[in-house]
Amino acid sequence: MPRPKKKKRSVLPYLIAALVVAAGAAVYLVSVLREQSELEKAEAAYYSAFGIDMPLNYSIHGIDVSSYQRTISWPSVKSMQVDDIQMGFTFIKATEGLNDVDRQFVNNWLNAKNAGMVCGAYHFFLATKSGAKQAHNFITTVSLHKGDLPPVLDVEQLYGVPPALMRQRVKECLDSLEHYYKVKPILYSYVEFYNQYLGKDFDDYPLWAAHYLEPEKPRIKRSWLFWQHNDACHVNGIVTPVDCNVFNGDSTDFRGILMP
């Protein structure tokens, strides 16, 4: 009885698999080369001054960043000094809404810490979405440890949502963050927005106030912890303008707000 002929195995699946692997490797290589090129540009970004009038009588200065600043040379940021001013802390955008994670968060978080910066992470709040679910997005993305800044909720737009509903969702998000991290979150907002839409409902939260072109302090009646005083600062290692901030206190006060 004749033996049945063996079916020839198709090489097509192997060829497709090889092409997929090669394409993935090519994409990864392009990504690495692009990142290296961006880092080289960042390392070459050098400024003789910050390019803005820095507020007087503050000893602790910092910046806040997101993917808008692209790749950052954090050692350059940390080593820049003009007169007696250096950048010692940074707030880094981590998440937005229900699912978005800032594409530079992981790199910024690791590299800023390695450069010796005190780091904090913030969530950009969307008033159209659940506050609890937005907190979950941040919590699953950000691990905070001893010496880090507390979590920050950035609230600056209504997106057409009734103010009362926006406040309810903000409170849900803050409560969830506080329950998980065991520390009261910092609330960031522009002074005008805070006064009009947040106000007394949130006066017991530490405030990071945004108010530009003021010479001495933000014009707000309640107490504040951080002040974002300008959005056009030049800092070594960053090719774009960046937000500059000061802390309202001395080094002992600053250590006292860090994660235990």
Catalytic residues: 64, 156
Q: Of the candidates 86, 93, 83, which has an alpha carbon nearest to the alpha carbon of residue 125?
A: 93
DSSP3 helix / strand / coil % (the chain, rounded to 5): 40, 20, 40
Tokens 């033996």 identify what position?
3
Element holding 65 (H helix, E strand): strand 61-65
DSSP string, 82-148: ETTEEEEEEEEEEEETTTEE-TTHHHHHHHHHHTT-EEEEEEE--TTS-HHHHHHHHHHH----TTS
d(CA 174, CA 132): 8
Q: How far apart are the first and last CA of the chain?
A: 82
The rounded Cα 6 to chain-centroid distance in angstroms is 61
